[in-house]
Amino acid sequence: MPELPEVETVVRALRPLVAGRTVVALSRADAPDGPKYAGLSRAVGARVLEVARRGKFIVMPLSTGDLVAVHLGMTGTLSPTKPADHLRVRLELADAGGARSIIHFRDPRRFGRFVVTAPDDLATLPTLAAMGPEPLEPGFTAGTFLASLAARRGPIKPLLLGQRIVAGLGNIYADEALFAARIHPEHPADRIPPARVRALHLAIREVLGRAIEARGTTLRDYRDPAGEAGNFAVALQAYGRGGEPCMRCDAVLESRVVGQRTTTFCPRCQRLPRG
DNA sequence: CGGACAACCTGGTTGC
DNA sequence: TGCAACCAGGTTGTCC
């Protein structure tokens, strides 16, 4: 599933294909009208200033002041190659010389979004509007992370998935970061010792950084715009390994549902406080 | 406001 | 082999 490292990989591949070009057409294909594909016609005639990422959103500011926001959901892909099925949106571009190209948004499960909107009107994208700090940028410090967690009750993992405290984590990298920091996914956020919070702050950046270097994790569906799979699946130590031995201590990894998500952790390395 | 949780959607896997 | 049940899960919307 596309989380921060996968989206970052897509953005880097897309940038030279899209940035600086003019939108000739932007339209729905096999997709119903609705908020998931809102405002597409607003982009026609505009120049794409840049291709950026905010959390798991791909954000493309336009010369008109509007922005294109794309979320890949769980199965979305962007590619110059025309897909055989599930084509939802077609983005037609022209370069400075007038040469045309097309980016195709394919999304079998339709969890993705492709919208054009004014940057101060993100009512249809509340998660983007309230996005927390980018974990790989200087604004994400151990101090601000500690303060954010101290202000919240409840188990740590759903907070990591919420995008408000830190941007870009999904189920895979949340499990991996908690495993690396040796924190139980249900540990109350405001009761994690500061040294452990600092370990988690480091682990989040470390695992995301390594995953970007590996061009993301492909379990089944994820592909970059060239159709290439990511290489990080072999490096996963917790996610998807329930019932298998812990790579640190050999205990059997446990899977349970936390915050409606399947969660895997080591019951020996990642302990809850008493009570 | 935050937290809890159902809904969205399709393809792959599992179980009988 | 066929087919139904189940599962994956990021975000939004609804409810309290």
Name the residue closest to B10, CA to C1': A109
Inter-helix orientation angle A194-213/A142-150, to 10°: 120
Which residues lie closer than 8 Å to A48 by C-beta, 6 or more apart? A18, A19, A20, A21, A22, A23, A60, A61, A62, A63, A68, A93
Decide: CB of A161 under 7 A of nucleic strand C.
yes
**What pLDDT, on a 0 to 100 scale, did the predictor assign at position A274?**
74
Decide: CB of A110 under 7 A of nucleic strand B.
yes
Q: How far is CA A186 from CA A113, A120, A142, A173, A264, in A?
A: 31, 36, 20, 16, 11
Alpha-carbon gap, residue A3 to A250, rounded angstroms: 28
- Nearest Cα residue to A213 out of A8, A1, A2: A8
- Nearest Cα residue to A208 out of A156, A256, A137, A155: A137
Asked if A137 and A131 touch (Cβ cutoff 8 Å), the reply is no
User: pLDDT for A151-200, tens place per residue?
Assistant: 998 999 999 999 999 999 999 999 999 999 999 999 999 999 999 999 99
Decide: CB of A86 under 7 A of nucleic strand B.
yes
Please name the helix (run of DSSP H) or strand (run of DSSP E) that holds residue A15, with its range, or none. Answer: helix A4-18
pTM: 0.97
- Give, as one character, the DSSP assignment of residue A274: P
Strand order through the sheet with A22-28: A22-28, A87-94, A100-106, A77-79
Decide: CB of A238 under 7 A of nucleic strand C.
no
Catalytic residues of A: 2-3, 56, 261
Mean pLDDT, 10 residues at a time, over chain A (275 residues)? 94 97 96 91 97 96 96 94 93 97 94 93 91 95 95 93 95 96 95 96 97 93 92 94 94 92 95 81
**What pLDDT, on a 0 to 100 scale, did the predictor assign at position A275?**
63
**What pLDDT, on a 0 to 100 scale, did the predictor assign at position A237?**
95
Q: Is residue A48 classed as helix, strand or coil in its secondary structure? A: strand
Alpha-carbon gap, residue A57 to A189, rounded angstroms: 26
In chain C, which nucleotides are within 7 Å of a protein Cβ? Answer: 7-13
**What pLDDT, on a 0 to 100 scale, did the predictor assign at position A149?**
95
**What pLDDT, on a 0 to 100 scale, did the predictor assign at position A187?**
95
